[in-house]
Structures are given as C-alpha cells and as structure tokens.
Amino acid sequence: MPDVVITGIGCVTPIGTGVQGLWAGLKAQRSAVRVITRFDPTPFRSRIAAEIDDFAASDHLPAKAARRLDRFSQLGVVASLLAMQDAEIAIERENRDRVGVMMGSALGGVAQAEAQAATYMQHGLRHVEPTLATSVFGGAVSCNIAIQFGVTGPNSTNAMSCASGAIAIGDAFHAIRSGRADVMLAGGAEAPLSPLAFGSFTLIRAMSTRNDDPVRASRPFDKGRDGFVMGEAAAVLVLERRDRAESRGAPIYAEVCGYALTNDAYHMSAPKPGGREAARAVQLALADAAVAPHEVEYVNAHGSSTPLNDSTETLAIKDVFGDHARRLTVSGTKGYYGHPLGASGAIEAAICALGMRRGWLPPTVNLTEPDPACDLDYLADGGRVASPACAVSNSFGFGGVNAALVFRSA
C-alpha cells in the first residue's frame, strides 16, 4: 500500500486565512469569539460565536461563480483553492480521473435554506434564489470543488456531525491507500450561523452562556467551562501518494498513516460514560498505522469545552495510553476559533501537520484552572517548542461518532 502524505493546506477560519494566516493566528494565542453580529442574538441564552469577518468569496473567485455558491460552499471552494496553491499541483487532463474530493459538513447549506424559507414566506416562490435546490444539500461542497478543478475521481460529503471533517480525511486517506486515487482534496466546511440553526443548539443547552466575556468562553478542559462556542470555517488538505509527491519535489507537512471510526450507540448528544468507544477509535487508528501507543507524543484533543466531553475524552486518552498518557503533550485548540462543527476535525488535522513541520505545538487557550477530572498535560500557556514524531487528532460528534487520525512526521 502506498504511503499517503499531506502536501497542501488551505483554510478559512476566524483566526486567519491560508497557511500563514492560520499559523499567525495560532501564534497570537487569542480567541476570535465575540458577540454575534450576523443576526440579532438577544432572544437566545447564548449570544456569542466565532465569526469570520474578513472573508469575501469574490476575492478568490470570479464574481459570478461566487454568487452561485452559498456560504458553506464558498468557504469550502476557497479553502480548496488555497490548498492546491499551497501544494503547487497543476491538474493536467490526463490525471483528473485520479484526483478526488472528500468533504464533511454537519449542517451543509442550512443557513441558506433558512434565509430562503423566510423569503418564500414573505414574498413567494418567485423571489427565492434559483440556485437554492443545488446549493443547500451537503454534497454541494464536494461537487463544487470537483467542478472548480474538473476532477472526476471519488467524491462525497459526509454529514457525521462534529467528526465530519476528520472522517473525510480518513476516507480520502483510504481512497489513496487502496489505489482508487493518487491525489485527494479532503476536509470540512461549515457555515451554521443563522438564527434557527444557532437557536436549536441553545435549546439543548449545549453552548456557553459566557456572553459578558466571549473571548474566554471556549475553554477546553478548564473547570469553568460551560459549553461549546459555535463557529464557522473551512479547511482542506491535499493528500497525495508519497512517491508522487517526492517525484515532483513537493514539500511534505506530515504523513497520514492511520484512521478509524466507531460509534457509542448510546445517546444523540452525550458521550458514553467512560469513553470506551472513543478510546477504541484511537486504538484502531493506531493499529491501522502500525504505531504503538508509546510512540505517540502529541494529541490534538477534540476538547469541545463541554463538561461531559472533556472529562470523558480524558478518560479515553488514559484508557488508550495507560501510564504513557502522563507523558503526552495534549492541547485542545477550539479556544481559538470556537467549534465549527463539521470543519473542526479538518482544522485540527491541519494544526497537527503544521505543528509537526514547524516544531511548535499550540496551547489550550483559556485553560486557567484545570478541572481535576482533566488531569493530563493540556499545555495551558505559551505553546511548546517540539517536533513530535507521531501525533493523534481526535474528533467526536453528536450521535456518538468517534473518529481518530494518526500522523507521522515527514
């Protein structure tokens, strides 16, 4: 089976756009969370989110093409453009059938659907955007990316809640390793900031209500955490056969070497107590990578900043790594950019790859008083100069979804 490596990273996030923007945002060690400006949040218990305030699709795409896409597809297509530019790949006519796209999005075009439903109710069908039918389904993002580059290989978008981006990367990794493709664009895109979609999460009391202190609201593994903070973002990785990447002299961020997926089969919003299935996802991913637990040096945790998730993830890490868990560097990076649902796993995979290549691991922003139930080395201040040889990225989601990715240094 061929080795699979990451040769390009593209992202549009609340802390920065592109590789350099993301890296600068991480090094700044500041949260992008604020009071929502996209709509009036006063009816809701939670009134904060991580918005992208400097994004215009027309800066990257022809105006007509940008107008054809709703926001979640705009984010995904632009992230894929940035990733391909970063990888310096030219799509030639003869290899387009060996290039595919795998994406993840929990909610797809729900914000566009919500807005157009209001237009329909107020003004009738004649005023509804004619692109509505082709823009709101989840698969629109991977199909629009394929159209952008004219690539005809494997293509899908999964909607497996907050693990979607990681699942897309794992599926793309397996597509290359099994010989179905040579290059894959893989990641996640999410644009969920609309009143109904946002409000539905406040109904289940899943989100932080630290409205008077938004920059400190997302605080993974901290004793004072009170829920996640919704965000919007997209991240896309270029995955490539190692031999192909080396033959064209491409810089390599990291090798993707393992992936696994399990389900708690327990509850739609709460993790299974003890974290057994989350732990099993990591164990299976390590087995897929032929990596022993003691070889792992860094874990980018899901760290959603919810009371149950963070403590359960801690138990799962201890289950997998035993005594070695105390020697791991672990950080949860959602304190920076909130929780962009299906895009979060792709952002965190990008952060793992960047950190491994550049020799610095980002801290867990806003971790000021560690929860006694979260007692690992969660890297509270300043980040850490380190070049881990092997790293794991965890992504967990509603419905009990558990995904784990394993990376080796290039």
Instruction: Report the alpha-carbon distance of residue 96 to residue 146 in Å, rounded.
Output: 10
| Mean pLDDT along residues 30-56 | 96
**Among the listed residues 87, 84, 79, 86, the one whose alpha carbon sits nearest the alpha carbon of residue 52:** 79
- Looking at residue 272, the DSSP 8-state letter turns out to be P
Over residues 194-234, the pLDDT tens digits come to 999 999 999 999 999 999 999 999 999 999 999 999 999 99
Residues 95, 142 within the same domain: yes
Instruction: Report the alpha-carbon distance of residue 328 to residue 283 in Å, rounded.
Output: 15
Start-to-end CA distance of the chain, whole Å, equals 17
CATH of the domain at 226: 3.40.47.10
Mark which of 247, 267, 285 sits at the end of a domain: 247
Over residues 270-314, the pLDDT tens digits come to 999 999 999 999 999 999 999 999 999 999 999 999 999 999 999
Query: How many helices (H) and strands (E) would you count in the chain?
Result: 13, 15
Residues 19, 122 within the same domain: yes
Residues 179, 234 within the same domain: yes
Q: Which segments of 115-154 are extended strands (E)?
A: none
* pLDDT value of residue 158: 98
pTM: 0.97
Residues 89, 137 within the same domain: yes
pLDDT band at 381 (very low <50, low <70, confident <90, very high): confident
pLDDT over 90 (residue 1): no
Residues 159, 278 within the same domain: no
Residues 234, 269 within the same domain: no
Instruction: Work out the number of other CB atoms within 10 angstroms of the CB of residue 175.
Output: 22
Residues 284, 380 within the same domain: yes
Q: Which domain holds residue 288?
A: 258-409
Residues 237, 373 within the same domain: no
Over residues 73-127, the pLDDT tens digits come to 999 999 999 999 999 998 876 689 999 999 999 999 999 999 989 999 999 999 9
By annotation, the residues acting in catalysis are 162, 302, 339
